[in-house]
């Protein structure tokens, strides 16, 4: 199944939503929308294409009513999601949905592209958990590309799960939390052995934490 969602925030009006497939969204506030599932997705073979646009001077908070569960399909375990975010000058986007859980035997790939204008504000949070209770053999890969105008902000690629290149028997992380914040002038910092906040050369920060389980 192919799912397409388009959300557009315009200053002075309610967010506009267009959705087809297994995922939709509902306005839950003047500047807030929540994703809702209308069918089981992503299953193996499914493709999600989500575009979120924030216009000049507009603000948008994006949440979800429940976690997303990626499941293997009959013909293939692989599903794919493309997330595209555009924030204009003076626009603000806070994207913080519930986690994605990759069930045992499933493989889920995400490609996230971010286009920011000078003067835009962004907080982009992603949380991934490999396996439901008693499972640890799902696989997730994520690629994040972010630019400010024509200036590269971030190129980031991670894998998580039993088939990940960096997976090993000693650490074997199964959970990931990633937060891209722009602008942000906080200095580099570490939180124990599994979390770090890194400043980006073009401005902003990237926080990354890996563990066996997501924090509640």
Per-residue tens of pLDDT for the chain, all 216 residues: 999 999 999 999 999 999 999 999 999 999 999 999 998 899 999 999 999 999 999 999 999 999 999 999 888 999 999 999 999 999 999 999 999 999 988 999 999 999 999 999 999 999 999 988 878 788 999 999 999 999 999 999 999 987 777 777 666 888 999 999 999 999 999 887 789 999 999 999 999 999 888 886
pLDDT of residue 170: 66
Give CA–CA dist 171/66, Å, rounded: 28
Domain boundaries, the chain: 2-170
- Are 166 and 159 contacting, i.e. CB atoms less than 8 angstroms apart? yes
pLDDT of residue 121: 98
Q: Residue 209 phi/psi, 5° resolution?
A: -135, 130
CA 43 to chain CA centroid, nearest Å: 18
Residue 187 CB burial class (10 angstroms; 0-12, 13-18, ≥19):
exposed
- Are 41 and 47 contacting, i.e. CB atoms less than 8 angstroms apart? no
Whether this prediction's pTM lies above 0.85 is answered by: yes
């Amino acid at each position: 199944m192919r799912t397409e969602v388009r959300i557009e925030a315009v200053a002075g009006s309610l967010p506009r939503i267009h959705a087809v497939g297994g995922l939709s969204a509902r306005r839950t506030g003047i500047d807030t929308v929540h994703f809702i599932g209308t069918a089981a997705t992503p299953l193996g073979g499914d493709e999600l294409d989500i575009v979120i646009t924030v216009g000049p001077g507009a603000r948008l908070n994006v949440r979800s009513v429940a976690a997303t569960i990626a499941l293997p399909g009959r013909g293939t375990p692989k599903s794919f999601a493309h997330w595209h975010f555009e924030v204009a000058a003076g626009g603000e986007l806070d994207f913080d949905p519930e986690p994605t859980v990759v069930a045992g035997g499933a493989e889920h790939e995400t490609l996230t592209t971010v286009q920011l204008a000078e003067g835009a504000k962004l907080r982009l949070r992603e949380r991934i958990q490999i396996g439901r209770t008693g499972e640890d053999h799902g696989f997730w890969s994520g690629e994040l590309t972010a630019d400010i105008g024509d200036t590269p902000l971030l190129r980031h690629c991670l894998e998580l799960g039993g088939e990940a290149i960096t997976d090993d028997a000693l650490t074997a992380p199964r959970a990931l939390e990633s937060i891209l914040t722009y602008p942000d002038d906080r200095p580099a910092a570490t939180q124990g052995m599994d979390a770090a906040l890194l400043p980006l050369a073009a401005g902003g920060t990237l926080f990354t934490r890996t563990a066996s389980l997501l924090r509640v």
